Amino acid sequence: MSGAGRGWGFAAPALIWTGAFFVVPFLVMGAMSLATLEGREVVWGISGENYADLWSRPYLRRAVLVSVEITLTVTAVSVLLAYPLAWIIAHRVPERWQRLALMLAILPFWTSYVVRSYAWLLVLGREEWINDALTGIGLIAEPLTLANTRFATVTGFVHFFTMLLTLTIYANLRQLSPNYARAAADLGANGFRTFAHVILPLTLPGIVTGAFLTFVLCIGDYVTPQILGGNTELTVPQVIMVQLGRRADFPLAAALAIVLMLLVSLAYLASARWLRLDRV
Amino acid sequence: MIRRSALLASAATAAAPALAQDELNALVWCDHTDPALIEPFEEEHGVRVNLREYEGTGAALALLDQSRPGDWDVLVIDAIDVFRAAQAGILAPLPAEELPTGDFFPEVVLEANNSQDGETYAVTEKFGYNTISFNSDAVEPEAMTSLANAWSEDYAGRISIYDYYLPVMGLAAIAEGIPTGKIDADSLETISATLGTMRDRAASVAGVVAAQTALATGEVDIVVGGGEWLTAVLQEERPELTWTIPEEGAVLWAQSIGVLADSARKDLATEFVKYIVSPEGQARLATSSCFWGMPANREAGAHLSDAQKEILRWDAQEDYLSRAQLYPAPDEDLDIEMQDLWLDTLQR
Amino acid sequence: MRGVAWIFLGAMFGFIYLPVAALVLFSFQGGSLPVPPFDGPSLAWYADILGDRDLMAALRHSLVVALASGAVSVALGFGAAYGLARHDLKGQAVLRGLLIAPLTVSYLIVGLGLLIVLQRLGAGLSLWTAGIGHVVINLPLCFAILYAAMGAQQENAERAARDLGAGEARVVLLVTVPMLAAPILAAFFLSVTLSWDEFIIAFLLTRFDVTLPVEIWSLLRSGLSPRLNAVGSLVFLVSVAVVLAMEILVLRRRA
């Protein structure tokens, strides 16, 4: 028996599983997105109606926009918070406490995912706490509404993804040999230049990989905006669930899923240069 | 000992031929998942009741379409949508003479909705109102006697809208003097304007938990579309969170229960329906953990405490029923139009 | 500068623990509303959830689905990683891409696709179908972790074993698997964690028997109650205990 034959034997179950339960459903969903719903019957065919609806129905168009805006905000804010946090843990916290600090920083990761958003609802619903604090230090003059807004959705997301990114960025920073920074300093670079020209480029693949994962998970998430967003603006996953839950419009839901997929592909293309998905 | 239980068992079998079958699959609303409601039936009949919750009638009908025959036995459905299910041939006729509809509040028997061509396909089990819930410490109760006033400029930013299109659009229609039964494509324009006003002044559009949290924390003071089902569970601890029916009226919601035509256990399913509309079942359903609501059967009153009746506003029902209008019942095309309008308004 | 770093660290920890603190605090609420003022402490809500038949059943279901789907994911992922790393298969890059692909797709899409196919086939929904979905999303991770872990060191040992006359099965079971025990465990643990906490696929693909996140979701839709806080806190405490236990075990072994 040839080596390749044996290799196929080992890989076959995984390939078959992925083919049967991922590729085939994905293709069927693609076909479904070209079907139409008449009454309660799905009529198969090649129709662009669902995609045309994306333009003709304002709420669908808006959902795409809302999803992209929220996801980009979340990704940017999460990276901006996680990078310094990971940096401080890697470079300021004494070596022997680092593992503990990192553990503590990501421990709430293990709260149930559905419950985590609900917990934010409780915190933000009681907005006096936060408003008192903010007006107290003179940041704002008028109390803000926090719960049931985009702010709440973004906060819930950022909380989760900051933990995720802190973990990946910390691992990246630790892999860097301190010799790089030392060499840059020897060559006369100050702290900022060392960071901008040496550390940042070297950690960029890690950041981009983490940011891409954030993008994928965030744009496809239903629970967080549904619990925290106050439904005054709907994201694509929320609209998909409305189509399924209230009118069982599978063709339109499938088309929206394909759109979601395209958005992720765009993000992939934008970040492909730096992506290291095989090393997640 | 063994002989005695065997005897009992055979006696029970003789009395209830359904005993040999041990499972019943029901597609329901969340109030039916309360063990306090289901367990007595399970024990009495020695069966297990499997429950699955669903959200909209459209989704339930699609789910039934795609299931294998015999997958489902019992369906709980909006009373106004029974005709859709009956026309689709999904529901089996019920033995009307065995149902205690004579003891019901007459306004909620809803014979026109629950039957078709003289056959009864479902029976009303619970009802209540989509109206105005509010915090009486923050809002003058007198001010809430007018619908339009509830979402007037005075309360901008202190309003939450319940996240379900039918009752809220029904309330908008009532405020504009359009009867809920007369909503059509033309009147949607008027409703749309009112809905827009509501939306502009609302702080959020909220599901049950979000609306309750918002009321309880003082984030909002008014929930348009609320009612006893929203605030009854809060009442014990926060008596200031209350509800009223404005002068223009409010929307009456009613849920019905029926047996599925494809069910292989129709006898047991019918027993379940009979249990739900019995006075005991009705009292448990009315105060079920998910949401409270009035039992359709007046005899349930004997099994409810005075405190419970007070929260349900038992004594005010006659007045309320005379002013409430049934949920809008759009056909499929109008339904889609209404949902699109709703989503467009939310997404502004 | 140093001061700023510590203040930032403190603020971030505050942010990270704020919701957890609110969640746990109000799980001990005496009354039936998990909002201020706090009127506990009371353990009533913990007693309530531990006596809840549906919740406890959901908890068991979640455990079974997580362990089973984790085991299948690791087994399939290991096979694929071994096959691709040790044998020169045609179209390596394409195969790797195919196996990793589900990772780049939202869980919602995986669930929706499976739901459509299952309905077309007339297949019923159950914990099995949710488990299948969980394997789809965890297999890429297991594959990636194990593929990266297969280095030259194991390959040499495998070759030595083969030279000594061991068959392929014995080589894999007695050489490769023990040498890769740590990454295999890591992949399994990660899969179990992700499946345990996964919501949308389980929500779309189950019927009567549901997993814990789905049951929590129904609770969440049915009304405000400290019961939710109690469930959330309990899940958190148990998960943390498991994580710490793993951490201590792994640390001890290394030391």
| ipTM greater than cut 0.90 | no
Kindly state the tokens that stand for A5.
């034959």
The pLDDT assigned to A126 comes to: 60
Torsion angle of C-alpha atoms B79, B85, B90, B93, degrees rounded to 10: 50
Q: Are B246 and B333 found together in one domain?
A: yes
Q: Chain C window 88-147: which residues touch A at a Cβ cutoff of 8 Å?
A: 88-90, 95-96, 98-110, 112-114, 116-117, 120, 132-133, 135-136, 139, 141, 143-144, 147
pLDDT, residue C208, reads 86
Q: Does any domain span residue C51? A: yes
Residue found by looking up tokens 């000594």 in the block: C164
Q: What is the pLDDT of residue A245?
A: 82
Please answer yes or no on whether C110 and A25 come within 8 Å at the CB atom: yes
Same domain, B141 and B108: no
Tell me: the pLDDT tens digits for C27-62? 998 888 887 778 878 898 999 889 888 899 999 999
pLDDT at B16: 42
- Give the SS3 label for residue B46: coil
In angstroms, the separation between the Cα of residue A225 and the nearest Cα of chain B is 12
Contacts of A77 in chain C (CB under 8 A): none
Q: A121, B213: Cβ pair inside 8 Å? A: yes
CA distance A102 to chain B (A): 33
Note whether B34 and B55 are same-domain residues.
Answer: yes
Q: What is the average per-residue pLDDT within B127-135?
A: 94
- Cα torsion at C246, C233, C66, C251 (round to 10°)? -10
Task: Report if residue B319 sits inside a domain.
Answer: no
C-alpha C211/C-alpha C126 separation (Å) is 10
- C91 class by beta-carbon count within 10 Å (0-12 exposed, 13-18 middle, 19+ buried): exposed
Is B286 within a domain? yes
**Would the CB atoms of B51 and C33 count as touching at under 8 Å?**
no
Domain that holds residue C51: 39-254
The gap between the terminal CA atoms of chain B, to the nearest Å, is 71
Whether B11 and B118 share a structural domain: yes
Are B26 and B16 contained in the same domain? Answer: yes
pLDDT of residue C251: 60
Q: Do residues B214 and B331 both lie within one domain?
A: yes
Average pLDDT on C11-24 reads: 92
Q: Touching check for A46 and chain B: CB below 8 Å?
A: no
The answer to whether the Cβ–Cβ distance between C112 and A110 falls below 8 Å is: no
Helix (H) / strand (E) containing A75: helix A58-91
Q: Which of B216, B228, B245, B232 is nearest to B137 (CA)?
A: B216
Residue B148 contacts C, CB cutoff 8 Å? no
Q: Which two tokens stand for residue A242?
A: 């409305």
Distance from CA of A215 to the nearest CA of B (A): 22
Does C18 touch chain A if contact means CB atoms closer than 8 Å? Answer: yes
Q: Check pLDDT > 50 for residue B8.
A: no
Confidence of residue B15 (pLDDT cuts 50, 70, 90): very low
Please indicate, yes or no, whether residues B162 and B144 belong to a single structural domain of this protein: yes
**Does residue B174 belong to any structural domain of this protein?**
yes
The pair of structure tokens assigned to A47 is 């129709």
Q: Contact B210/A148, CB-based, under 8 Å?
A: yes
pLDDT above 60 (res B10): no
Same domain, B199 and B331: yes
Q: How many domains does chain C have?
A: 1
Q: What is the CATH number of the domain that holds B177?
A: 3.40.190.10
Q: Is C76 inside a domain boundary?
A: yes
Query: Which of A103-107, B10-14, B244-248, C155-159 is most confident?
Result: B244-248
**CA C61 remoteness from chain centre:** 14
Section A14-33 average pLDDT: 95
Q: What is the pTM of this model?
A: 0.86
pLDDT band at C252 (very low <50, low <70, confident <90, very high): low
Tokens of C241: 């205990």
Q: What's the pLDDT at A237?
A: 95
Instruction: State the pLDDT confidence band at B5, using cuts at 50, 70 and 90.
Output: very low
- The answer to whether residue C233 is domain-embedded is yes
Mean pLDDT of the B62-69 span: 80
On whether both B108 and B134 belong to a single domain, the answer is no
Closest residue in C to B218 (Cα) is C35
CATH number, domain with residue C45: 1.10.3720.10
Residue B146 sits in the same domain as residue B244: yes
Chain C residues whose C-beta sits inside 8 Å of any chain B C-beta? 31-33, 35-36, 52-54, 119, 122, 124, 207-208, 218, 220-224
Q: Is pLDDT above 80 for B335?
A: yes
pLDDT of residue A37: 86
List all chains that touch chain A, counting a touch as 3 or more CB pairs closer than 8 Å. Answer: B, C
A18 contacts on C by Cβ (under 8 Å): 98-99, 101-102, 136, 139
pLDDT of residue B4: 44
Number of domain units in chain B? 2
Chain A residues with beta carbon closer than 8 angstroms to that of C23: 111, 115, 118-119, 122
Query: Does B2 have pLDDT greater than 80?
Result: no
Which of 126-165 (A) contact B at CB < 8 A? Answer: 126-127, 145, 147-149
Q: Model confidence at A136, in pLDDT bands (50, 70, 90)?
A: low
- Residue ranges of domains in chain A, CATH in brackets: 58-279 (1.10.3720.10)
Please give the mean pLDDT across all residues of chain A: 85
Domain limits for position B51: 2-127+253-314
User: Do residues B154 and B299 share a domain?
Assistant: no
Contact C217 A260 (CB under 8 A): no
Question: Do both B142 and B205 map to the same domain?
Answer: yes
Region A188-213: what's the mean pLDDT? 82
